[in-house]
Amino acid sequence: MPIYANEVQEQFHTPANLAKSISIESNELLECFQWSDTDYNIEHVKEELADVIVYCQNMLDELGFDVDEIVGSKMDKNEAKYPVEKAKGNAKKYNEL
């Protein structure tokens, strides 16, 4: 029985493998800025950023997550941890505010 592309993709797109791939691609994006914060190849940055986004979308799909829901939930938690009136202009960690 032949193996089709999406079956191969499913075989390797486990959450653990996707997390590893996100990390690897994120480091490739960071490498674009290794020697300069201002002198970088914008096309290379776009390519590496696209790779990160693709793997993140693959992980969302694999786990059945909704990006708006999980980002909104995280923002709510951040707002509770770092209230504007205490955190604005302050670099302290949330448990030190």
In the chain, domain spans = 1-65, 66-97
- pLDDT average, residue stretch 57-81: 96
The whole-number average pLDDT for the span 31-51 is 97
pLDDT at 60: 96
- Residue that wins the pLDDT comparison between 10 and 6: 10
User: What is the homologous superfamily of the domain 1-65 according to CATH?
Assistant: MazG-like (1.10.287.1080)
Cα 89 from chain centroid (whole Å): 26
- Give the other-Cβ count within 10 Å of 21's Cβ: 19
Q: What is the reported pLDDT for 10? A: 67
pTM higher than 0.85, yes or no? no
Give the CA radius of gyration of the chain.
18
